Amino acid sequence: MIRIDVDMDKCQHYGQCVFEAPEVFQLNADDKLEYVAEAPDEMLGDLEAAADVCPMQAILITKA
């Protein structure tokens, strides 16, 4: 499994991550980020891409 942590003090809810891994990241109706904290290993590429495009560099991906 892969663990996903978003530093919510840093996150500005830009939603760039949503386009790389919509299964994990979403903007809710109030334009606030929601995400799931764990994902299967096959998603590593997409999750790294999401971490790369985050303007605040708020996403931490770790292999659990």
Partner 1 sequence: MDAPLLIVGASMAGLRTAEGARRAGYSGPIRFLGAEEHAPYNRPPLSKELLQTPGHGHAEVAFPIRSALEEGVEWMLGRPATALDTARQVVTDARGDEHAYSALVIATGLRPKPLPIDGHGLTGIHVLRTIDDAVALRDSLRPGANVVILGSGFVGCEIAATAAKNGATVSIVTQSRVPLERALGPLLGAEMRRRHEAHGVRFFCGESLFGLVGDPAVERVILTSGVMLECDVLVVAVGSDPNTEWLQGSGLDVSDGVLVDGGLRAIGVDGTVHPQIFAVGDVARYPNPLFDDVARRVEHWNLPTETGKRAGQLIAAQLAGDDCEPLAAAGFAPLPSFWSDQYDAHVLAFGMTYLADRSELVAGSLDDECIVEYYRGDALVGVCGIGMRGAVQAYRSKFAVPARQ
Interface with partner 1 (CB under 8 A): 12-16, 18-19, 27, 31, 45, 48, 51-53, 55, 57, 60
12, 19, 36, 37: residue in contact with ligand SF4 (rule CB under 6 A): 12
Query: Does residue 39 touch ligand SF4 according to CB under 6 A?
Result: no
- The answer to whether 63 touches 24, Cβ cutoff 8 Å, is no
Max distance between CA atoms of the chain, in angstroms, equals 31
Q: Which does 41 bind (CB under 5 to 8 A by kind): partner 1, ligand SF4, none?
A: none
Taking the least distance from each CB to partner 1, the nearer of 7 and 38 is: 7
Residue ranges of alpha helices (H) inside 1-64 are 16-20, 44-53
